[in-house]
Structure 1
Amino acid sequence: MKSSAILSLGSLALSLAISGNVAAGPVWNAASCVASKTTPKTMDCKSAAPGPVYSAALSGWSAAGTANFAAADIKYYGGGLGVSAKGESGSPQHAIDNKGGTDAVLMYFDTNFALKQLSTGWINRDADVSILRYTGTAPLQLGASRVNNLLAVPGWELVGNYSTLTKSTPLNFNDTNKTASWWLVSAYNSAYNGVAASGALNNNNDYFKLNGFKGEVVPNEVPEPATWSLVGLALLGIGAARRKARLG
């Protein structure tokens, strides 16, 4: 009976160590984001209460045709955050759209983050989205890349293309808990992965404003020292139980 109890403790400790620390559910409301006082064309956002407060910096980008991404204006309008490239003005061009150029919001979180949900507060015509993450070791330089060669840069990955977002239902994705500090939320473009648009996914007719986003914080992928102590005690307990079983 004691041996079983020790083995159960060992299994629990090992499970805690392997799973890591995951704090679920911080939520960002786009209406609470404010223009950065230090970085042009950037919004500073804080997660909503309750719970710990996390920071996110959002910048606007746009790439026309085969041109490189260029910094664009990002601003909160009625219904959510929109992006306006140079030369664009008025509705619907101040949305995140793919008409004339592909608009995107680059998100930087101050922790390792699994982005899992987006909500939209305004849509015109259609709302298809491409979501990517960057986990590379080199400094991120989005302005050195185009839509059709971004995935050739080490560290960039297309998380997925998602069609027909609605204002009434948030988009849930990333069930496999992929994490990164850098995420790119873009109007859909088939050139990211070179696969022709099909089905409900279409180029050139997507307009939406980002109203909020949420996910899971993963601050540590390596167990804390206290957790390692539990693992050590558990392994010692497993060894003692086996020795006792052999002697018995």
Structure 2
Amino acid sequence: MKTQRANWLALATLMTGLGLSGSAHAVWTFDNAGASGIGNYTNCSRSTTLNCDTALESGAKINDTTVALSGFYANNTNGVVTGTWTANGLSYFAGNGQGMYSGGDSGSPYHALDNNATTEAVLLSFSSATMLTSIGLGYTSNTPGAANVELGCRNASGVVVGTTTTGTCASGTTAGATVDISLFRWTGAAAPTVAGKAGALGGSWELVGNYGDMITDTTNPYNLVNSAGKTSSWWLISAYNSGFTQSAGRETRGTLDNSNDYFKLYAVAGTTVKLPEPATLALTSVALVGVAGLRRRQSKTAA
């Protein structure tokens, strides 16, 4: 009996060690300063920027998890996404992260990701399942060129606790222009196709949350998102738009509006989930066979 219990304990330990997936916290930075494998795009003008970053970020590698970025936009009508999504290059103009010029933007800064004239978004394709936890923005603006812009005052936990039009916040808080973004994750089995999809997305695109208190933040942890801890290999970060399909259980934070949200994507942070290697799976199968054989021998002995 002691031998049988020892065998079961050994098998259980083996199964636990082999079956569990590994995880690691990681940070991916999309500003070219000090990042390996990313070209210097500061000399790309608006007229040529679409030719500057075809392979943008394809070589970034953190903890054996790679990420690739691609851009998309859809037309707006009165602040609601209409038509279909179109693929578009990202731009690195004057630093501070990745933006976009989709040809229909009006006003400065037209090289940021925004919801002015078109709604612009970035698709992040990870090589393994990832739980995003925060999003870093290298630039934010909510009313370009306007005087007395309302800024958000954020506490040490990353939560906007007040606003100011003077640029001065209370002690212990940080001032920054607040922008609204929407965060989606892909729940389908195969890789997603964004180009040509309906403006509202929906389907296997789950709206994880709408965040109305995002400010410039280039220090990890960044603007906090995804408090439910959802995972996916494909994430879409978009300027907010009320025309998106409103999924049940989404996270909503801050005051949201459909325009004047300009930002550059500086970085994301999260936890990667690595599935067992093929060899590990094979050993796990052997362990299962051993468990089955042990149970058969016990049955015969009992008979």
State the TM bucket, normalised to the shorter chain: 0.7 to 0.9
1:179 lines up with 2:232 in the alignment: yes
Structure 1 stretches lacking a partner, 5+ long: none
The Cα shift of 1:40 comes to: 6.9
CA distance in 2, matches of 1:238, 1:37: 63
Asked if the contact 1:114–1:174 (Cα under 8 Å) also holds between the matched residues in 2, the reply is no
Q: Deviations over 1:30-87 (max 9, x none)?
A: 02444799997552343356x43x4322112111121221223312242211121113
CA distance in 2, matches of 1:70, 1:119: 25
Asked if the contact 1:72–1:86 (Cα under 8 Å) also holds between the matched residues in 2, the reply is no
- Report the AA paired with residue 28 of structure 1: W
Instruction: Decide whether aligned partners of structure 1 residues 37 and 68 sit closer, same or farther in structure 2, where only a CA change above 3 A counts.
Output: closer
CA distance in 2, matches of 1:219, 1:10: 22
The Cα shift of 1:130 comes to: 1.3
Instruction: Decide whether aligned partners of structure 1 residues 172 and 11 sit closer, same or farther in structure 2, where only a CA change above 3 A counts.
Output: farther
Percent identity reads 27
| Length-normalised TM-score, structure 1 | 0.75
Q: Deviations over 1:164-196 (max 9, x none)?
A: 12334512426444222x32111112211258x
> Which of 120, 124, 129 is the aligned partner of 1:103?
120
Pairing of 1:216-227 with structure 2 (within 5 A) = 216-220=271-275, 224-227=281-284
Instruction: Decide whether aligned partners of structure 1 residues 6 and 167 sit closer, same or farther in structure 2, where only a CA change above 3 A counts.
Output: farther
* Equivalent residue pairs, number: 237
Instruction: Decide whether aligned partners of structure 1 residues 198 and 230 sit closer, same or farther in structure 2, where only a CA change above 3 A counts.
Output: closer
- Compare relative contact order (CA 8 Å, sep 6+) and give the higher one, 1 or 2: 1
- Report the AA paired with residue 11 of structure 1: A
Q: Which has the larger radius of gyration?
A: 2
1:94 lines up with 2:111 in the alignment: yes
Asked if the contact 1:118–1:172 (Cα under 8 Å) also holds between the matched residues in 2, the reply is yes
The Cα shift of 1:205 comes to: 3.0
The Cα shift of 1:136 comes to: 3.4
| Length-normalised TM-score, structure 2 | 0.63
Pairing of 1:1-248 with structure 2 (within 5 A) = 2-16=3-17, 18-19=19-20, 21-31=21-31, 32=35, 33-34=38-39, 41=54, 43-47=56-60, 51-52=63-64, 54-65=65-76, 66-77=82-93, 78-88=95-105, 91-109=108-126, 111-116=127-132, 117-125=134-142, 126-136=178-188, 140-148=192-200, 150-152=201-203, 155-168=204-217, 170=222, 171-173=224-226, 175-180=228-233, 182-194=234-246, 199-220=254-275, 224-234=281-291, 236=293
Asked if the contact 1:26–1:48 (Cα under 8 Å) also holds between the matched residues in 2, the reply is no
Higher helix share: 1
CA distance in 2, matches of 1:120, 1:71: 22
CA distance in 2, matches of 1:41, 1:88: 21
- Report the AA paired with residue 118 of structure 1: I
CA distance in 1, matches of 2:3, 2:267: 51
Asked if the contact 1:128–1:188 (Cα under 8 Å) also holds between the matched residues in 2, the reply is yes
Higher strand share: 1
CA distance in 2, matches of 1:177, 1:198: 17
